[in-house]
Amino acid sequence: MPKYLVMVRSTKSQAIHTAGSIEETVCEIAKNLLHFRGPADGLMAIPADTKIATFAALKDEALCSIEVTDKTLATWRKDVFVIEDAINSFQSARDHAETMLDRALADLDEAYESSSGFNDYTPSNDISVYGALDQLGANDLEYNFQQALREMYKFNSLKIVPM
Amino acid sequence: MTKYLVFENQPSSGQVNAPGSREAMASEIADAVSQGRMPPNFYIAHSIDDPKATFESLKELAKFTVEIDDTTAELWVNEIQALVQKAHNVDDAIGEAIGGIYQAMVAYNDAIENSSQFKDLTVLSTKALDRTFEYFEVESAYEVSTLVEEIYQVESIEHHGA
């Protein structure tokens, strides 16, 4: 299983990885798992068994190591974006639901509050939008997926990622 | 205090309660208590003193009785109608939330099931979604419905088939 070290590409470096190369994909994986804020081509991947990699490790430049196979590379290209999109869509749907329900419930609260005969009742005291949505058990979706990716790519964080 | 009998209006009846009338109000009140959110004119109400009520009673037994006086009529217009509408808005928001989340859940579950390496990840339960909002819906609608039932002394009439 080929192992790569990933580091920040020097601003002086003109060379970038070939499109579609393993190194390019490794940088995409590293960007994802490191939560690196810059573009993936702001990173550089080097096979771990090369002298450059040893030198980078000695200089404490490597951010992480990642191991890939043909199968896990194919998984990255085929499945990971689809699942991440689905997780993001789910979170968006949940956020939208929270906002919408919160607003509707606030309106109901206000209607009670502004009435003359029923202002001693506040519906939101009995109903929690956030508590209700927490019951879906989907809070750890993103975390669990990230953990699965970390295991699959034998991700090893070596240094704090520069912001 | 006037008592009204509320019936299901037959589509062929050609009758509707005059908008703004106490009869129309009695129909709205019955609908608020039943939480059915039926279309306008689904119910038709007649004062119990109205000869039509007797005639209608013979044709089809009433579904509800509703009592209204000047004070509670004013309360309906000035306060309770707004509460009922806002509770309906909460229901609508719940419906939209369920639809959006359900679609996203199915898309996520499909993505997991169609993947080659992530089938072990837990899929999302659409049953949990139903349970979550069932509680929310009941809580938001129950209070208004109970309030209306008490104030207008609404009685739901159960009919037992022969």
Q: Which long-range contacts (CB under 8 A, 24 or more apart) does A54-59 make?
A: A56/A5, A56/A7, A57/A5
Distance from the Cα of B82 to chain A's closest Cα (Å) equals 7
CA distances from A29 to B15, B114, B144 (A): 69, 21, 53
Please give the residue of chain B at the shortest CA–CA distance from A140. B122
Residues of A with Cβ-Cβ distance to B104 under 8 angstroms: 86, 89-90, 92-94
Is the pLDDT confidence value at B162 over 60? no
Q: What pTM was estimated for this model as a whole?
A: 0.79
The predicted-structure confidence for B98-121, as pLDDT tens digits, reads as follows 999 999 999 999 999 999 889 989
ipTM: 0.82
Which residue among B86, B108, B135 places its CB closest to the CB of A108?
A: B86
Is the pLDDT confidence value at A12 over 80? no
Cβ pair B93:A135 closer than 8 A: no
Smallest CA-to-CA distance from A161 within A14, A22, A68, A30 is with: A30
Q: Is A125 exposed, middle or buried (0-12, 13-18, 19+ CB in 10 A)?
A: exposed
**Disruptive mutation site among A81, A101, A129, A147 for chain B (greatest number of B CBs within 10 Å):** A101
Smallest CA-to-CA distance from B45 within B5, B82, B13, B74 is with: B5
**Average pLDDT of chain B to the nearest whole number:** 88
What is the distance of C-alpha B36 from the center of its chain? 3
Cβ pair A86:B108 closer than 8 A: yes
**Disruptive mutation site among A127, A145, A147, A154 for chain B (greatest number of B CBs within 10 Å):** A127
Q: Where are the domains of chain A?
A: 3-73+151-157, 78-148
Cα distance between residue B153 and residue B162, in whole Å: 28
The predicted-structure confidence for A52-66, as pLDDT tens digits, reads as follows 878 777 777 889 999
Residues of B with Cβ-Cβ distance to A131 under 8 angstroms: none
Q: pLDDT-based confidence at A136, cuts 50/70/90?
A: confident
